[in-house]
Amino acid sequence: MNDISTLALVWGKAWPILAAILFFGLLIATHEGGHFLTAKLFKVRVNEFSLGMGPVLWKKQKAETQYSLRALPVGGYVAMEGEDGDSEVDGAFGSKPPWQRAIIILAGATVNLLTGLIIMAVMLGTSDLIGTPAVSQFRGNAASKAQGLREGDRILSVNNHVVRTEYDLSFYMSKDKDGVMDFVVDRDGKNVSLKHVTFETEEVEGTQVVKYDFAIVGVKPGFKNVVKYSVLDSLSIVRIVWVSLWDLATGNFSMRDMAGPVGTVQAVADTTSDAAKSGNLSRLLLILALIAINVGAFNLIPFPALDGGRFLFIMLEGIFRRPISKEFQAAVNTVGMAMLFGLMIMVTFSDVFKLLR
């Protein structure tokens, strides 16, 4: 193999990974940009705008703000004056009214959610059909058909969980391990309850999973349907993220089922490579939308160090009509950050082991 062929082979392996890292960089930049722009809007002094964590690779001072690029592409931050301590400096974060601080804190996750929503709309708008939670047809001798499910049924709930989209349907069916479920369906305009609908199951990597024995109805991607389902699908993904994290916290979800930075980059890289070969961008766009929405939804969780945790402190301040000690907030956020880094390290090791298997 000559040098040109070797370079072409290396580039063919490397460019999808670089593209995935670039996408993550853009997600981080837009997230932090949301915080930064709203801080500037409300005249909050920003001491540093950083992309990445760890050692500084590049920095530039402009007015009161230092712009920096750091070595580890796993996050970023906007360091605002008086965010983690009392400050008498003009433009301190803590001197602003709660509603302004809340907007600044929520802006980053909001930008991520809007990014995911836009990508989702593009994906749906360029698809042949948009999936819905309605039964189109059955596959072979479908067990669920024998238990009362019918073609044309629009599934409204699975095991008492409300279903609005195909993602809700897939998620709540996948949570059931024995293949026996209760449905409520809309059949010819009437709600019909179906008890103990049975599906076949199979073992995949030591876990029992449900075998889907029906196809779903697809609708044409007109403007109305694209707007409707891009919003509904995005909200479904947010809900699924929160439910999955709750399941993880309560022991109903395995750590091995999670993907960290390495696993997610690898998934995006593989999908990017497949899309380049096939010319079909739908799956790639879906993966990108899922990641953007996941980042936004995760950051809104009311956990220390996350945007949702900081927002909770602001809410409590508004409820009790007095500020919560900056020292207490800083201590809680430090503990939360340590826990998050610990989780990231564990998941990253899991990702690496999966790649090596």
Per-domain residue ranges for the chain?
A: 3-124+290-356, 130-219
Domain spanning 130-219, CATH class: mainly beta
Most confidently modeled of 2-11, 68-77, 95-104, 193-202? 95-104
Structure tokens at 341: 């880094």
324 to 318, 319, 327, 335: CA distances (angstroms): 10, 11, 9, 17
Structure tokens at 34: 């949301």
* Higher pLDDT, residue 152 or 345: 152
Q: Please, what is the average pLDDT of the chain?
A: 84
Under 8 Å between Cβ of 258 and 350? yes
Please state, for a pLDDT cut of 70, what percent of the chain lies above it: 82
> What is the model's pTM?
0.84
Q: How far apart are CA 136 and CA 149, in angstroms?
A: 11
| Poorest-pLDDT segment among 13-17, 59-63, 78-82, 241-245 | 13-17
Tokens 């103990």 belong to residue: 196
Q: Express the helix, strand and coil content of the chain in percent, nearest 5 each.
A: 55, 20, 25
- Residue 97: band (very low, low, confident or very high) from pLDDT cuts 50, 70, 90: very high
- Residue 262: band (very low, low, confident or very high) from pLDDT cuts 50, 70, 90: very low
Active-site annotation holds for 83: no
**What local confidence, expressed as pLDDT, does residue 151 receive?**
94
Q: How far apart are CA 279 and CA 282, in angstroms?
A: 9
Q: How far apart are CA 269 and CA 258, in angstroms?
A: 17
Under 8 Å between Cβ of 172 and 183? no
Under 8 Å between Cβ of 351 and 266? yes
Q: Kindly report, residue by residue over 117-154, the tens digit of the pLDDT.
A: 999 999 999 999 999 999 999 988 888 888 889 999 99
Structure tokens at 30: 């837009």
Q: How far apart are CA 319 and CA 315, in angstroms?
A: 6
Sort residue 100 into left (φ over 0), alpha (ψ -120 to 50) or beta: alpha
Q: Which of 177, 123, 154 is nearest to 291 (CA)?
A: 123
Structure tokens at 122: 């593009």
- Residue 355: band (very low, low, confident or very high) from pLDDT cuts 50, 70, 90: very low
**What local confidence, expressed as pLDDT, does residue 80 receive?**
93
**What local confidence, expressed as pLDDT, does residue 244 receive?**
81
Q: How far apart are CA 170 and CA 174, in angstroms?
A: 6
Structure tokens at 163: 């279903």
Q: How far apart are CA 218 and CA 245, in angstroms?
A: 30
Q: Which positions ≥6 away from 237 have C-beta within 8 Å?
A: 116, 167, 289, 290, 293, 294, 297
Q: Which of 342, 264, 339 is nearest to 309 (CA)?
A: 339
**What local confidence, expressed as pLDDT, does residue 351 receive?**
52
Q: Which amino acid is at 225?
A: N
Tokens 């995911």 belong to residue: 116
- Residue 19: band (very low, low, confident or very high) from pLDDT cuts 50, 70, 90: confident
**What local confidence, expressed as pLDDT, does residue 210 receive?**
83
Residue 21 has a CB neighbour count (10 Å cut-off) of 15
Under 8 Å between Cβ of 216 and 144? no
Q: Kindly report, residue by residue over 216-260, the tens digit of the pLDDT.
A: 999 999 999 999 999 999 999 999 888 888 877 776 666 555 554
Under 8 Å between Cβ of 79 and 47? yes
Q: Kindly report, residue by residue over 21-58, the tens digit of the pLDDT.
A: 778 888 889 999 999 999 999 999 999 999 988 899 99
Q: How far apart are CA 55 and CA 101, in angstroms?
A: 29
Q: How far apart are CA 211 and CA 202, in angstroms?
A: 7
Q: Kindly report, residue by residue over 325-339, the tens digit of the pLDDT.
A: 888 888 888 888 888
